[in-house]
Amino acid sequence: MSSTPVVAVLHAENVPDEAAMAPVADHAEIRYTDADGLATALDGAETLFVYDFLSDALPAAWHAAGSLRWVHVAAAGVDPILFPELRDSDVTVTNSRGVFDRPIAEYVLAQILSFAKDLPGSLRLQHGHTWRHRDSERIEGRRVLIVGTGPIGRAIARLLTAVGMDVRGSGRRARTDDPDFGTVTTDLPGALADADFVVAAAPLTEQTHGMFDAAAFRSMKPGARFVNVGRGDLVRTEDLISALGSGQIAGAAVDVVDVEPLPPEHPLWDAPNIVITPHNSGDFVGWRETLVDLFSDNFRRWRAGRPLHNVVDKKLGYVPGP
């Protein structure tokens, strides 16, 4: 590593806050770049901070990354950058695991409560100046299946358990003594059949791509609701639209979709009983600065030769649990 390391920062419209980046700028040459200039910025750079965490520009610029040793992604999901050449290289990848766990859990609870209390229906009646008494559902004792048992899934499990919901997990390894889920199953169809609410919080991998398809939705209860805070490509969107349209499931809230931003003419907008948010379930006030602070802390560790936080297993596609 050179005495003055070069850090390339890939951004889109939003550029990292200058004050937050000061701890890095004091000890490195920083090259800010958008996707078009990434190859030039990578020439001689040892570190890449992927602040534009949805960008897929790195594969095309990889030819210029001969000095690259470390890539840090300003997100929990790293699927946009895990192309074969990076997977097979010696470059270390880290992510921003931990920043969004609790905010996303709060989002999931909010959507579950919105379904149970029919807040969209109340708003529609209000807009029509209509006073109509209706009963609502209780969430206490209702069963929730959380698909994905990583940190975000665990934060969701803890919060939903705290409000009295019956939480189960679906993951890669079955167990009955999990501290957050109690029971974790590998039998996804069977678990879907028992759930009142299904929360998708899994990372996007070859194994999870399209896992929520027509067969999965057929396995769910007709009255079940589906919440996706994982990745859009976990879901076959046309199958979700069909499941909502036929009444196979009672509703869905999706914060991520397989095409982002969702085009105005996309049929998902008009699917019945759906709530769509623009990939902001974890975006609390100050989240951008928090992401930069995490990178700055890891950069200090990098310069000191200390182990980095949140090292991704590039074969698995996420940071392994304990």
Tell me whether domains 6-99+285-304 and 101-276 share a fold.
yes
- Strands 175-178 and 182-185 come out as antiparallel
- Of 31, 154, 231, 236, the catalytic one is 231
Residue 231: active-site member: yes
CA angle 287, 60, 300 (to 5 degrees): 40
**Is residue 322 over pLDDT 70?**
no
- Of 63, 140, 260, 300, the catalytic one is 260
Name the token pair of 62.
Answer: 């990889």
Q: What is the pTM of this model?
A: 0.91
Domain boundary assignment for the chain: 6-99+285-304, 101-276
- Of 279, 288, 301, 303, the catalytic one is 279
Whose tokens are 């999990």? That residue is 178
Name the token pair of 22.
Answer: 């000061």
**Cis bond leading into 151, ω under 30°?**
no
Residue 72: active-site member: no
What pLDDT score does 1 carry? 45
The CATH number fitting domain 6-99+285-304, selected from 3.30.390.50, 3.40.50.720, 3.10.20.600, 3.40.640.10 = 3.40.50.720
Taking only the tens place, the pLDDT of each residue in 51-94 is 999 899 999 999 999 999 999 999 999 999 999 999 999 999 99
82 touches 53 (CB < 8 A): no
Residues facing residue 225 across a β-bridge? 197, 251
96 touches 120 (CB < 8 A): no
Task: Name the class of domain 101-276.
Answer: alpha beta
Picking from 61, 280, 37, 320, the residue whose alpha carbon sits closest to that of residue 71 is 61
Picking from 199, 237, 231, 217, the residue whose alpha carbon sits closest to that of residue 107 is 199
Give the chain's mean pLDDT: 96
Q: CA–CA separation, 199 vs 226, rounded Å? A: 6
Longest CA span, the chain: 70
What pLDDT score does 227 carry? 99
Residue 260: active-site member: yes
